[in-house]
Amino acid sequence: ETGVTQSPTHLIKTRGQQVTLRCSSQSGHNTVSWYQQALGQGPQFIFQYYREEENGRGNFPPRFSGLQFPNYSSELNVNALELDDSALYLCASSLASSGNTIYFGEGSWLTVV
């Protein structure tokens, strides 16, 4: 149990639609990051938020966007869904002084049809 919770756990969307995934960080953690894990692959870094500002981004197009709220919960938004967006989306939280220990949630499985 990492204290990081994500919702929904599973969802199916149609190509072209938009999706919002939610994450509640472990209590007191001020940094949240999102990862995409395609089937059979390792997770890939999408972006990171610290104190409500994006402060790091991986190689993902602008249709992947996010928010971090004052209570450190977070959202990942994906517009104009493509079939290749089908993946497990993982949220991770951490505390700046924790020596880079990052705690992952169980993930949200997104299927685009």
Please report, as ranges, the residues that interact with another protein according to CB under 8 A: 2, 4, 31, 33, 35, 40-45, 48, 50, 55-56, 58, 90, 92, 94, 96-97, 99-107
Task: Tell me the closest approach of the beta carbon of residue 85 to another protein, in angstroms.
Answer: 19
**The pair of three-digit structure tokens given for residue 22, joined into one six-digit string:** 């939610």
Going by C-beta distance under 8 Å and a sequence separation of 6 or more, which residues neighbour residue 54? 47, 48, 66
Q: Which is nearer to another protein, 11 or 58 (CB)?
A: 58
Beta-bridge mates of residue 45? 35
Q: Which of 84, 43, 38 is nearest to 63 (CA)?
A: 84
Q: Which of 109, 89, 95 is nearest to 50 (CA)?
A: 95
Q: Which is nearer to another protein, 62 or 99 (CB)?
A: 99
Task: Tell me the closest approach of the beta carbon of residue 94 to another protein, in angstroms.
Answer: 5
Task: Tell me the closest approach of the beta carbon of residue 18 to another protein, in angstroms.
Answer: 24
